[in-house]
């Protein structure tokens, strides 16, 4: 099994390209199920999760072809065409490793009037039930059955009539599934307290390009007027705001000066605000964002929250950066109940972090030291890389398959801005 060997203490400097957003791409791919015409996605990141989702789409009879990117560009171009759906079952073997697989439920149901999907897997960061997905679909007229680890959804009359649903709590995935199901209903669907993440906006813009009618894009209330059919489209996946935030933390903890190409401040305002509060320089450039530090990092008090609040997907990376802040920071995780699994590994590297329930107190230390560490989930993995970049000595990050799910060519990008990092075969 591969591992990363990081020799810390190198200041990061230069230009670092930000890839297409993993969380957006995994939502845009199933849109191809909503039409029999070709759908082409540009700026698609090269990630294990994307490959896994491609295999899942092939299971339904969707043809896929991939074109390489232009020299110097990291993304790929994929064209998908679901001329005919040959299966409406998403089997356990393909779904178990990736939670985003549940996002085929809505579009399959909308197109075929029936869908059977295995309960999904993914990172072990706490209980992430799909009940809101199912309740939203039921509000649109679906009948739901659950048996033997599978969800079966049916439109009794072949197509969903649509309906109104208010999410009791904000849910990104449930909003995405509901929107994709709603675009082919026979009526009008109103979704209240819907998630507002930039990835939701990206999804709605993609569906609009395919002929969907969606009002309220970017707000917490979406009104979707169902269409008889959608057509194909070519669409560029947005840049990954979580990847950008992760590399911003890496630049900051090393006292670096890095330009994040394609990063957009308006899509990561809470992360940018936290960085600036910590004393990091964040400046918009013609090509992205410049991240630099010219002094000590300041401690923060942060709480994760649905967008536009501070993203839970940035909590671990920000915690790693704050390990070297001048003072004590307090982080509260409100989204997932088991997202501090990186804390013992950071403490092995000399950090001083105390946790109690959903709160972590990060006491800044003068320096950290390299150590063998074990990744537990995608964002936790990146927090260990960030810490390793600033630590004295060598850090060995094991279980790289987590990182490969969400960070395209990580070691190549870091090497280009001065990091001493190498991927090697594991023991």
**pLDDT tens for each residue of 314-368:** 999 999 999 999 999 999 999 877 789 999 999 999 999 999 999 999 999 999 9
CATH second-level architecture of 22-236? Alpha-beta prism (3.65)
Q: Could you give the count of Cα atoms lying within 13 Å of 12 in the half-sphere of its Cβ?
A: 31
Residue 90 pairs with which residues in a beta bridge? 117
> Which pLDDT belongs to residue 265?
97
The lowest-confidence range among 14-28, 51-65, 101-115, 119-133 is 119-133
> Which pLDDT belongs to residue 98?
78
> Which pLDDT belongs to residue 127?
45
Confidence of residue 70 (pLDDT cuts 50, 70, 90): low
Q: In 3D, which of 68, 12, 13 has the Cα closest to residue 42?
A: 68
pLDDT over threshold 70, residue 125: no
Mean pLDDT of the chain: 94
123 is catalytic: yes
Question: So where are the chain's domains?
Answer: 3-18+239-424, 22-236
> Which pLDDT belongs to residue 426?
61
Q: What is the pLDDT of residues 133-165, one digit of tens each?
A: 999 999 999 999 988 889 999 999 999 999 999
Quote the CA–CA distance of 243 and 271 in Å, as a whole number: 11
> Which pLDDT belongs to residue 96?
77
Taking residues 96-122, what's their average pLDDT? 87
Query: pTM value?
Result: 0.94
Taking residues 56-70, what's their average pLDDT? 89
Q: Could you give the count of Cα atoms lying within 13 Å of 35 in the half-sphere of its Cβ?
A: 26
Taking residues 389-403, what's their average pLDDT? 94
Q: What Å distances lie between residue 325 and 190, 223, 301, 391, CA to CA? A: 45, 45, 12, 14
Expressed in angstroms, the distance from the first to the final Cα of the chain is: 7
> Which pLDDT belongs to residue 71?
54
Residues within the annotated binding site for phosphoenolpyruvate? 22-23
**Is-same-fold flag (3-18+239-424; 22-236)?**
yes
From 31, 123, 204, 249, active-site residue: 123
Residues within the annotated binding site for UDP-N-acetyl-alpha-D-glucosamine? 99, 128-132, 313, 335
Taking residues 7-29, what's their average pLDDT? 97
**Looking at domain 3-18+239-424, does it have CATH number 3.65.10.10?**
yes
């Amino acid at each position: 099994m591969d591992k990363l060997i990081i020799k810390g203490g190198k200041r990061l400097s230069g230009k670092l390209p930000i890839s297409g957003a993993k969380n957006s791409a995994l939502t845009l791919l199933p849109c191809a199920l909503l039409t029999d015409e070709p759908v082409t996605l540009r700026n698609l990141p090269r990630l294990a999760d994307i490959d896994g989702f491609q295999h899942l789409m092939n299971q339904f009879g969707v043809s896929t072809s991939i074109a390489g990117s232009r020299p110097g560009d990291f993304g790929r171009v994929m064209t998908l065409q679901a001329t005919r759906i040959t299966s409406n079952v998403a089997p356990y073997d393909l779904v178990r490793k990736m939670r985003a697989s549940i996002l085929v439920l809505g579009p399959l149901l909308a197109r075929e009037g029936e869908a059977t999907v295995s309960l999904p897997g993914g990172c072990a960061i706490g209980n992430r039930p799909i009940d809101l997905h199912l309740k939203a679909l039921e509000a649109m007229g679906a009948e739901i059955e659950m048996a033997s680890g599978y969800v079966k959804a049916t439109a009794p009359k072949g197509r969903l009539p649509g309906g109104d649903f208010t999410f009791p709590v904000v849910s990104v995935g449930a909003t995405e599934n509901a929107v994709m199901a709603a675009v082919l209903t026979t009526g009008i669907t109103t979704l209240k307290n819907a998630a507002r993440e930039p990835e939701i906006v990206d999804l709605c813009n993609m569906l609009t390009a395919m002929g969907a009618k969606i009002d309220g894009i970017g707000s917490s209330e979406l009104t979707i007027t169902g269409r008889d059919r959608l057509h194909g489209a070519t669409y560029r996946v947005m840049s990954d705001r979580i990847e950008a935030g992760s590399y911003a933390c890496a630049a900051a903890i090393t006292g670096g000066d890095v330009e994040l190409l394609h990063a957009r401040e308006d899509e990561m305002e809470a992360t940018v605000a936290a960085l600036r509060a910590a004393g990091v320089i964040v400046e918009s450039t013609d090509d992205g964002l410049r991240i630099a530090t010219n002094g000590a990092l300041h401690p923060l008090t942060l709480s994760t929250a649905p967008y536009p609040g501070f993203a839970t997907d940035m909590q671990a990376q920000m915690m790693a950066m704050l390990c070297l802040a001048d003072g004590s920071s307090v982080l509260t995780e409100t989204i997932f109940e088991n997202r501090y699994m990186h804390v013992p590994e950071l403490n092995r590297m000399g950090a001083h972090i105390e946790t109690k329930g959903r709160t972590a107190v990060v006491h800044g230390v003068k320096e950290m030291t390299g150590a063998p560490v074990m990744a537990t989930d995608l964002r936790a993995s990146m927090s260990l890389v960030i810490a390793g970049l600033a630590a004295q000595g060598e850090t060995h990050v094991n279980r790289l398959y987590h990182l490969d799910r969400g960070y395209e060519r990580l070691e190549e990008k870091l090497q280009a801005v001065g990091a001493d990092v190498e991927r090697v075969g594991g023991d």
